[in-house]
Amino acid sequence: AMKCAVNYAFVNRAVMTKWIRDSFEQVFKKDWESMDMKTVYGIAHNIVKLEEHKIGGKGRKVYVHRKGATRSFPETPVLIAGSMGTASYLLKGTETAMEKTFGSSAHGAGRVMSRATAIKKFWGETVREDLEKQGIIAKSTHPKVLSEEAPQAYKDVEAVVETVHQTGISLKVARMKPMGVVKG
The pLDDT assigned to 115 comes to 95
Reported as a single tens digit per residue, the pLDDT across 66-87 is: 998 999 999 999 999 999 999 9
Phi, psi of 59 (to 5 degrees): -75, 125
**Mean of pLDDT values over 14-38:** 96
Catalytic residue flag (residue 53): no
Give the per-residue pLDDT at 114.
Answer: 96
> What is the pLDDT, as a whole number, of residue 44?
78
Average pLDDT over residues 23-46: 92
CA 170 to mean position of chain CA atoms: 14
Say which residues have a Cβ less than 8 Å from residue 6's Cβ, sequence separation at least 6: 44, 47
On the question of pLDDT at 45 being above 80, the answer is no
- The pTM assigned to this predicted structure is 0.87
The model's pLDDT over 103-114, given as tens digits with 9 standing for 90+, comes to 999 999 999 999
The CA distance from 89 to 56, in Å, is 33
Q: pLDDT band for 15, please (50, 70, 90 cuts).
A: very high
Question: What is the identity of the amino acid at 50?
Answer: L
Express each pLDDT in 156-177 by its tens digit.
999 999 999 999 999 999 999 9
Pairing label, strands 180-183, 137-140: parallel
Say what the pLDDT of residue 46 is.
82
**Active-site hit among 65, 107, 142, 165:** 107
Is 84:58 a contact under the CB 8 Å cutoff? no
pLDDT above 90 (res 40): no
Helix (H) or strand (E) holding 22: helix 2-28
